[in-house]
Chain A
Amino acid sequence: MMKKFWWKIIAFALLMYTCTMGFLVKIPQQLPGVPLHHSIRNIFFHVPMWFAMMIFFTVSLIYAIKYLIKPSLSHDYYSLEYARTGIVFGILGLVTGAIWANFQWGAYWNGDPKQNGAAVAILIYCAYLVLRGSLTDDEKKARVGAVYNIFAFFMLFPTLWILPRMVESLHPGGQGGAGGNPALNGGDMSAEMRTVFWPAVIGFTLLGVWITTLRIRFNFIKEKKLGYE
């Protein structure tokens, strides 16, 4: 599966589709709330980063639990590399969000609860890498890492999903806003936009999976080489 090519082609095709239709698809002229104009097209690029990040962190959690049930090197590699890719996508989400916010809300950082929450969530995951790096024993590294990974994953829920919705937020879904689940039924996407949005989510996720599998394979090669020496 990891070494097969067909899903990489699909990733390429989906991202090509996203990157062309993302600019060409018709957007609703009158949107509820703040006038976004063409910057609404950012939904095809900014939001899939967060979707992909959530998926990678979930996969990372699954492998962390698997490791704790049955310790094996490969489970640890999967858990570590998916967390790493998740962090990369999260950072990209923060940066793209800041660029969009500067145009739409007037500043790169507005102290919006969702912005702050996302930053905290990513910092918690960065601490995962720091924690692993600070331990020298490989087995201890993997086990402590797996336990911390579970903690980090469950911190995503208050920081990203619960707290931003309990207070007023510039993001959709906050109190006093349009309400509902942002991006899914927030009412700010037309049917045409959805035909670009979902391929974008799948495409970016597959791209991240590809990068992750490359890193995992690299780890295996490194491990093998160290074993010979």
Chain B
Amino acid sequence: MNKLKSIGIFLIMLLSSLVVYAQDAAFDEVRKEQRMQQSIYIVLAVVVTIVIGLFIYLFTLDRKISKLEK
């Protein structure tokens, strides 16, 4: 338990340094530009998630109908 806690604290501190970095550079124009360019990847991730979800749904439906046919 103690070990877990210390690992947790370590991780939080590690990540907090990232936040500080990000804030340092937040007003940097280059950074802003990069962020704008990366925004398309978010849309990509959303669309891919939806398509994967729909396909999983179709696969289960297909399986169910196959079972009924037997």
Interface residues, chain A, CB within 8 Å of chain B? Answer: 3, 8, 12, 15-16, 19-20, 23-24, 38, 207, 210-211, 214, 217-218, 220-221
Contact = CB atoms under 8 A, between A and B. Distances in A.
B68 to A, nearest CB: 5
Interface stretch (B7-15, B17-25, B59-67): B59-67
B47 A210 contact: no
B62 A221 contact: no
A217 B69 contact: yes
Interface size class of B (residues with CB under 8 A): 10 to 19
B18 to A, nearest CB: 26
Contacts of B4: none
B56 to A, nearest CB: 10
Interface string B5-48: 00000000000000000000000000000000000110110011
B33 to A, nearest CB: 16
Closest 9 CB pairs of A and B: A23-B44, A19-B47, A217-B65, A12-B55, A221-B68, A19-B51, A19-B48, A23-B40, A15-B51
Contacts of A23: 40-41, 43-44, 47
Contact of A16 (B40, B51, B59, B66): B51
Contacts, number: 39
A221 B69 CA distance: 7
Contacts of B44: 19-20, 23-24
Q: Which of A19, A20, A217 has the most CB of B within 10 A?
A: A19
B58 A211 contact: yes
A204 B69 CA distance: 26
Nearest to B48: A19
Contacts of B58: 8, 207, 210-211, 214
B39 to A, nearest CB: 11
A24 B42 CA distance: 12
A12 B44 CA distance: 16
A19 B47 CA distance: 7
